[in-house]
């Protein structure tokens, strides 16, 4: 029946995408995202960082939010940012929240196609686990240990507004941080914890989200994939999407090549098309 399908015909403006970053990654990571996929979703994208940065506040058209969370990779710093991302979504009038890290490429048209398959008035938690087993945590309410699956933050995940609203009494107004500290788990696990142990809802696995915790070189059919990542620097083992395009000196993350593979007609991709 058509009416039901039409309800899911969301548009770009129904979407809120939050990106977690930190001061030292504004130039080295965020800049690349701003030049590539964020172009496809400028008004939808909000950057959560830990400093005031005039240059990038301008470049993001004032879509940069200083969370005042501490810098660093600590659990509490990352949970603090996720807490602000969550509260900002609740305050915004959007039907879907998708979170990504600043080393993630988002295929915006594919993301819209995914979300159109679900009703944002129902409870949906869409993402991809990177562990091969569920994790365990003690339910604060019942003191029972429970096993649950969570979506890796580094692959990106999406929550419907309906589900997010149910999380408010557990996680809203900064409470997310105390839940993190109580269960002593990272921010993405804590999202899964609240959804499973407090709301009895489950993760819907969508395998086309991709973090650098999986072998990215195996990813095919780029137009059907929702997210991509990379790890190619310093001490990490090189893990990149295998895509032709710009050479690896000019495009070490492969994000420009992915971008121009998906959108070859863009002005920035002219040189790519002619190679």
Which positions are annotated as active-site residues? 188
Site for ligand UDP in 59-118 (CB under 6 A): 71-73, 78, 81, 101-103
Residues 141-180, one symbol each (x = binds Mn ion by CB under 5 A, - = not), give -------------x--------------------------
Residue from 50, 53, 103, 214 in contact with Mn ion (CB under 5 A): 103
- Quote the Cα angle for 126-131-136, to 5°: 90
x/- map, 20-59, ligand UDP, by CB under 6 A: xxx--x----------------------------------
Q: Which of residues 33 and 260 has its CB atom nearest to ligand UDP in the complex?
A: 33
Would you count residue 102 as binding Mn ion (CB under 5 A)?
no
Among residues 127 and 154, whose Cβ is nearest to ligand UDP? 154
Rounded Cα–Cα distance for residues 226 and 157 (Å):
10
Cα–Cα dist 126/243, whole Å: 26
**Interacting residues with ligand UDP (CB under 6 A):** 20-22, 25, 71-73, 78, 81, 101-103, 154
């Amino acid at each position: 029946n058509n009416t039901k399908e039409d309800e899911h015909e969301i548009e770009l403006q129904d979407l809120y995408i939050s990106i977690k970053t930190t001061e030292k990654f504004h130039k080295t990571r965020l800049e690349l995202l701003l030049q590539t996929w964020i172009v496809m979703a400028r008004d939808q994208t909000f950057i959560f960082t830990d400093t005031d940065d005039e240059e990038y506040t301008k470049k993001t058209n004032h879509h940069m939010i200083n969370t005042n969370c501490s810098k660093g990779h600590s659990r509490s710093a990352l949970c603090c940012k996720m807490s602000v991302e969550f509260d900002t979504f609740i305050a915004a009038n959007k039907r879907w929240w998708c979170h990504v890290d600043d080393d993630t490429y988002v295929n915006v048209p594919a993301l819209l196609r995914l979300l159109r398959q679900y009703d944002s008035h129902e409870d949906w938690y869409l993402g991809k686990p990177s562990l091969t087993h569920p994790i365990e945590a003690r339910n604060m309410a019942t003191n029972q240990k429970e096993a649950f699956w969570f979506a890796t933050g580094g692959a990106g995940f999406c929550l419907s507004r309906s589900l997010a609203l149910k999380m408010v009494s557990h996680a809203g107004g900064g409470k997310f941080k105390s839940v993190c500290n109580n269960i002593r788990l990272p921010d993405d696990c804590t999202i899964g914890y609240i959804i499973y142990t407090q709301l009895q809802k489950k993760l819907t696995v969508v395998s086309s989200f991709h973090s650098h915790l999986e072998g990215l070189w195996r990813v095919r059919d780029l137009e059907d994939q929702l997210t991509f990542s990379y790890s190619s620097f310093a001490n990490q083992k090189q893990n990149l999407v295998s895509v032709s395009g710009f050479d690896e000196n000019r495009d070490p993350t492969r994000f420009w090549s992915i971008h121009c593979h998906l959108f070859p007609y863009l002005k920035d991709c002219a040189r790519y098309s002619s190679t």
